[in-house]
Amino acid sequence: MLDTDDDDNEQQEEENESLGFQDETFDGKIVDFYNGDGSSDFEEEGEEEVYYYDSDGKLVNLPDDEFDDLGLEVKEKGVPAVMRCFDRAKIYVKAGDGGNGVVAFRREKYVPLGGPSGGDGGRGGNVYLEVDGAMNSLLPFRNCVHYRAGRGAHGQGRMMCGRKGEDVVVKVAPGTVVREAGNDEVLLELLYPGQRALLLPGGRGGRGNASFKSGNNKVPKIAENGEEGPEMWLELELKLVADVGIVGAPNAGKSTLLSVISAAQPEIANYRFTTLLPNLGVVSFDYDSTMVVADLPGLLEGAHRGFGLGHEFLRHTERCSALVHVVDGSGQQPEFEFDAVRLELEMFSPELAEKPFIVAYNKMDLPEAYENWPSFKEKLEGLGIETCCMSAVKREGTHEVISAAYKLLQETKEPNEGFEGFEDPKDLNHVADMVQKQRSSSISEFEITRDGSCSTWYVNGAGLQRFVQMTNWRYIDSDKRFQHVLEACGVNRSLMKLGVKEGDTVIIGEMEMVWHDSAENSGTPNMKKRSTESIKWPHLK
């Protein structure tokens, strides 16, 4: 943000002259920098400003010693949108609603007393999650957030049922972790290409009047609405499934190494943060020996706190069995660069620091790297760390590096061979089973609460909510059926036992009704509805 007011410019020039320097190319005054996440900061050379916020979100400028006493929240820097790895996404999914049943009667010549012929509605479409091996990020979800399955067709006369709604398949990358929005519990973990999980089943179709025909009611004039499909917001997080991860500081030569050892074609340029998205490559040694290598974005100091690409980089190392540390040998102090990377891994997760790794000293084609190599090798070998030198640009030493990584990978897999196995696809449908179990609960399972201030009774039950939502109130017989169901499942009896009175309000789901005692104080009470708004299924719990 720039402020080019003349008075401020003159004052700034006077201050600059008093400090002994003057900038002739810039006339404005820098007020502060906007980070894109609601915070602002001004950076000076050699120091970094930290801002503290209280519980109300107000900015508080305090020194470090007072910060610890008050327990305020640190506002970290945001990452520009163009530099974010698209390995997190939030999407909305909804299964298809069921089709409505229909009231119809058969009327044909020479067919007396044809009877009811209304067909049932079709079932709504399902929502599936499927792993697509060609995807390596969640970038497609940046432009497409809502996924809705098709609705089932309505029933028709002559006993014709509606067709099923169209299913929707959400393609995700291998290694995607699925959570419900606002909940840390993992719903699904999709690792292997071709895996498919049924997430949300479609709503069932409403019954037509032909389904209500009985000996006592041969001409039913009643039909059901289709069941509404469940819906939820999902949070997707991608953790790449790779055998070996290439880590290091920015511009160390990680992408160049991946392009040399595999057929991957990552972007390569001589500037920092060339790699913004993780890249995968398959390294083949022979017909039976292959391994997947991931080139991960560069690491900055403070990445464990979210600086730079921060967690966008570090989370992808969690599934790698081994690591290759690429060190820029042309730097002034390569050993300090290696120590900084190791420190960030350990501070983010101690488990990452315990993963087996090798060190690849890169850029041996440059004189600076050639001179620093003996001291670097002596120091790491003194610590018992295996070290290799290479020049990724000239393809010198890269085969030795990747062979050492493959050997390390084989040694890592041997102790775990007895525990690894492909996940049974049937186990992936447990989320849909939970939703189906919740939707198919009995109408006799309910609880009643009372608000004494306004004489209101609340009848809560998933089965009753489903019954209210599927009742088509346009038909007179629906009211009679509703009263009969309330009596049969014990709602009326429970309300009278708890002391409901004439004129009290009774709410079942989103149906609001008024209680009326019978005229002779005997028999079945009746409730008259006030509103029949649509009912949505609650989120999965």
439: tokens are: 């939707």
Strands 447-451 and 387-389: unpaired
Q: Domain extents for the chain? A: 2-72, 82-238, 244-412, 441-529
Per-residue pLDDT of the chain (541 residues; tens, 9 = 90+): 344 444 555 555 554 444 444 444 334 333 333 333 444 443 333 344 444 444 444 444 444 444 444 444 444 444 443 334 467 889 999 999 999 999 999 888 888 778 899 999 999 999 999 999 888 778 789 889 999 999 999 999 999 999 999 999 999 988 899 999 988 899 999 988 899 999 999 999 999 999 999 888 888 999 999 999 999 999 998 876 678 888 887 778 888 888 888 877 766 666 555 555 667 777 877 656 778 888 876 555 544 444 444 445 566 677 788 899 899 888 778 888 888 888 877 777 777 778 889 999 998 988 888 888 988 888 888 888 888 999 988 889 988 998 898 888 888 765 544 434 344 444 789 999 999 888 888 888 999 999 878 889 999 999 999 999 999 988 888 888 998 999 999 999 999 999 998 889 999 987 888 898 764 443 445 565 554 444 343 344 3
Residue 449 neighbours by CB distance under 10 Å: 11
Strands 357-362 and 387-389: parallel
Residue 457, SS3 per DSSP = strand
Residues in the chain: 541
- The predicted pLDDT at position 419 comes to 36
* Cα atoms in the 13 Å half-sphere on the side-chain side of 366: 15
* Distance between CA atoms of residues 346 and 340, nearest Å: 10
- The predicted pLDDT at position 241 comes to 66
Phi, psi dihedral angles at 103 (to 5 degrees): -100, 115
At residue 23, what is the residue type?
D
Looking at the DSSP bridge assignments, the partners of residue 148 are 94
- The predicted pLDDT at position 290 comes to 76
* Distance between CA atoms of residues 541 and 534, nearest Å: 21
User: Looking at the domain that runs over 82-238, which CATH code has it been given?
Assistant: 2.70.210.12
* Distance between CA atoms of residues 273 and 246, nearest Å: 15
Using CA atoms, how far residue 273 sits from 256, 277, 332, in Å, is 13, 10, 19
At residue 156, what is the residue type?
Q
Fold match between domain 82-238 and domain 244-412: no
Mapped to the 3 state alphabet, what secondary structure does 262-318 carry?
A: CCCCCCCCCCCCCCCCCEEEEEECCCCCEEEEEECCCCCCCHHHCCCCHHHHHHHHC
220: tokens are: 């039913």
Contacts of 5 (CB under 8 A, 6+ apart): none
* Distance between CA atoms of residues 321 and 299, nearest Å: 19
Class of domain 441-529: alpha beta
Sheet holding 59-60, edge to edge: 59-60, 51-53, 73-75
Beta strands in 38-110, from DSSP E residues, in sequence order: 40-41, 51-53, 59-60, 73-75, 88-94
* Distance between CA atoms of residues 106 and 418, nearest Å: 65
Q: Could you name the CATH architecture of 244-412?
A: 3-Layer(aba) Sandwich (3.40)
309: tokens are: 């690409």
Residue for token digits 């600086």? 307
* Cα atoms in the 13 Å half-sphere on the side-chain side of 450: 12
